[in-house]
Amino acid sequence: MLQLYAVPQFPGGVIFQQDGAPPHYDNIVREFLDTTFPQRWTGRSAVMAWPPRSPDITPLDFYLWGYVKSSTVNVSTTLII
């Protein structure tokens, strides 16, 4: 799927972040990543070092927290005594 659908749509110079799932660590997958993203992929046994379980790039950073903040900041409160 990655090779057929996603990669053709990526702009040049993309850095690909791989998770540590065992099927994604197979030699054939790593060879594909080395060929498709030379020196530009992170994950288990990648050339680019990346801390395990790093929260630096997560879907939550791009959508959820901004949505939660915008939903809660605008809520009016009343004083309850």
Q: What pLDDT does 53 receive?
A: 61
**Statement: the pTM of the whole predicted model exceeds 0.75:** no
Q: Is 50 inside any structural domain? A: yes
Range of the domain at 26: 1-73
Residues 31-78 pLDDT 10s = 998 899 898 888 777 777 766 666 665 666 667 777 777 777 666 667
Mean pLDDT of 2-8: 86
Q: Is 62 inside any structural domain? A: yes
Q: Is 66 inside any structural domain? A: yes
Specify whether the CB–CB gap between 43 and 18 falls below 8 A.
yes
Q: Is 39 inside any structural domain? A: yes
Q: Is 79 inside any structural domain? A: no
- The total number of structural domains in the chain stands at 1
Q: What pLDDT does 44 receive?
A: 74
Q: Is 67 inside any structural domain? A: yes
Alpha carbon distance 11, 55 (integer Å): 24
